[in-house]
Chains A and B, each alone.
Chain A
């Protein structure tokens, strides 16, 4: 996460150039290294973030039932968001 997020922030915000322009965005999308890297990155980020959110919610909701609900809701949200991210990462690659 440290290196993936660090390189993402560096290249998107600090390195200069026009990384958000149409040309550069779609050129990156066609390079298989980027969809692969972003697939791993988004999976790690979602897991890390939702697991942290789960820990915080567990401090507030103590009953086994509420914790089970939290587990299911966060797992569901994570899977849905990951599938959406996966689709939108790989569609430009295959288009």
Chain B
């Protein structure tokens, strides 16, 4: 009996995130969106547990925050900042994807006249705008986390 085929050629799996298609700007954003999304969902589980300690007592909350807050440990502060970077990127890239899926910024359909112009070319400007907006918030986060601008002084 022939063994059931378990390989699906059109599903490159996790390695295909990198090698599937051209590694252009949008593909890099796709890869980063997935990595930050995975990081955020696993962090969310931990975050819910940690924040849940406030339900026990104010003393418990103070003790937990004293141990794991970025105020008390620069390494934790750095990882908190990385998390905020992931959030900022995921938010702005997600907003970009929503706009594109709704049909904004991809131009009107046109006849394929050489030299061809794909929707990727048309949406590239919007992509850069969203990434520049994200970068502004990243710069703000550096100021807020490490230069006394936010609540991490």
Contacts and interface: CB of A to CB of B under 8 A. Distances in A.
B151 A60 contact: no
Nearest to B49: A84
B90 to A, nearest CB: 9
Interface in A30-69: 42, 45-46, 49-50, 52-53, 56, 59-60, 62
Given A13-B80, A49-B44, A56 B34 contact: yes
Instruction: Classify chain B: how many residues form its interface, as a range.
Output: 35 or more
B150 A13 contact: yes
Given A26-B58, A52-B37, A62-B8, A13 B145 contact: yes
Contacts of A91: 55
A14 B140 contact: yes
16 contacts: A13-B145, A13-B150, A13-B152, A14-B140, A14-B149, A18-B151, A20-B71, A22-B58, A22-B61, A49-B41, A49-B44, A50-B41, A59-B13, A81-B45, A84-B52, A88-B51
B9 to A, nearest CB: 12
B91 A13 contact: no
A85 B48 contact: yes
B62 A22 contact: yes
A25 B55 contact: no
Nearest to B143: A14
A9 B86 CA distance: 12
Interface string A66-95: 000000000000000100110111011000
The 6 closest A-B pairs by CB, nearest first: A88-B52, A49-B41, A88-B55, A91-B55, A14-B144, A14-B150
Contact of A59 (B14, B58, B84): B14
Contacts of B53: 88
B54 A26 contact: yes
Interface string B12-53: 011000000000000000000010011011001100110111
Nearest to A3: B91
